């Protein structure tokens, strides 16, 4: 590519001038900040402070705050789309398919808890303006279809697939969104994102969801 040996060396230096690196640093810091305050509450100042570069770089690469927000959303969804596409949901029994998609989702949110809060902010502050199509298609449609199939095959109770999908997402994701409120249910200092706690949540949530759907 267009990487001469000279420019390569410069990248390793302290005051690096790597565009891609700078962009992804900004995106990382922005994701944290948007996860804490949403589009409305996020401060570009704070984003810059958590980056190795200055505020001006944000506007150089992303034009304005809203475009930066969109870029963060898109990157987060790209991760989700990639994960869902790795699953074969059609040729799998409903219960196993639901387990697969649930596990995929929860383990991703465990690694990237920002996703859950950003999407909640998106709903409340922006009324889903930047969300819509991709999100429904990526998160809810596959789940609804699995549920519908399970109901038809008689392995799941007779539920409304849409309500069920939303309530299942709630059971999976609320733990992450509300973790700072509910942490006091556990011993002081317990980190709800620790591997042990997260895996416990995964187990509890999946068993709860499956039991909640299974026909008696």
Partner DNA sequence: GTCTATAACCTGATAGAC
Partner DNA sequence: GTCTATCAGGTTATAGAC
Which residue ranges make up the site for DNA (CB under 7 A)?
A: 15-19, 21-22, 42-45, 52-57, 59-60, 63-66
Contacts of a second copy in 21-40 (CB under 8 A):
35-38, 40
- Our CB check for DNA shows the closer of 11 and 152 to be 11
Residue 134 interacts with a second copy (CB under 8 A): yes or no? no
Residue 115 interacts with a second copy (CB under 8 A): yes or no? no
- Our CB check for DNA shows the closer of 14 and 185 to be 14
Contact 117, 177 (CB under 8 A): yes
Contact 99, 210 (CB under 8 A): yes
- Our CB check for DNA shows the closer of 22 and 117 to be 22
Q: Using the rule CB under 8 A, which residue among 83, 100, 155, 166 binds a second copy? A: 166
**Spatial CB neighbours of 188, under 8 Å, sequence gap ≥ 6:** none
Q: Cβ of residue 134: shortest distance to a second copy, in angstroms? A: 11
Angle at 129 between CA 58 and CA 165, to 5 degrees: 120
Please provide the distance, in angstroms rounded to a whole number, between the alpha carbons at the two ends of the chain: 60
Residue 125 interacts with a second copy (CB under 8 A): yes or no? yes
Residue 70 interacts with a second copy (CB under 8 A): yes or no? no
For residue 156, the cross-strand partners are 214
Backbone dihedral angles phi then psi of residue 156, each to the nearest 5 degrees: -110, 155
State how far the Cα of 171 lies from the Cα of 167, in Å rounded to an integer: 6
Cα–Cα distances in angstroms (integers) from residue 172 to residues 34, 125, 126, in the given order: 21, 22, 23
Q: Cβ of residue 39: shortest distance to a second copy, in angstroms? A: 9
Q: Which chain residues interact with a second copy by CB under 8 A?
A: 35-38, 40-41, 117, 119-128, 131-133, 135-136, 140, 144, 157, 159-160, 162-175, 177-186, 200-201, 204-205, 207-209, 211-214, 216
């Amino acid at each position: 590519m267009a990487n001469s040996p000279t420019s390569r060396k410069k990248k390793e230096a302290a005051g690096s001038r790597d565009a891609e690196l700078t962009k992804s640093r900004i995106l990382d810091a922005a994701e944290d900040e948007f996860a804490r305050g949403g589009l409305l509450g996020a401060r570009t100042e704070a984003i810059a402070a958590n980056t190795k570069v200055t505020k001006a770089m944000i506007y150089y690469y992303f034009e304005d705050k809203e475009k930066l927000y969109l870029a963060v959303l898109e990157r987060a969804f790209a991760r989700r789309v990639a994960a869902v596409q790795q699953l074969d949901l059609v040729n799998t029994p409903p219960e196993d398919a639901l387990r697969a998609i649930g596990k995929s989702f929860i383990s991703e949110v465990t690694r990237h808890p920002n996703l859950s809060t950003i999407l909640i902010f998106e709903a409340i502050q922006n009324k889903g303006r930047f969300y819509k199509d991709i999100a429904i298609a990526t998160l809810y449609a596959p789940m609804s279809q699995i549920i519908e199939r399970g109901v038809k095959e008689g392995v799941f109770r007779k539920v409304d697939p849409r309500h069920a999908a939303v309530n299942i997402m709630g059971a999976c994701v609320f733990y992450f969104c509300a973790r700072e409120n509910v942490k006091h249910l556990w011993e002081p200092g317990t980190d709800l994102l620790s591997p042990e706690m997260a895996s416990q949540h995964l187990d509890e949530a999946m068993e709860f969801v499956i039991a909640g759907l299974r026909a008696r």
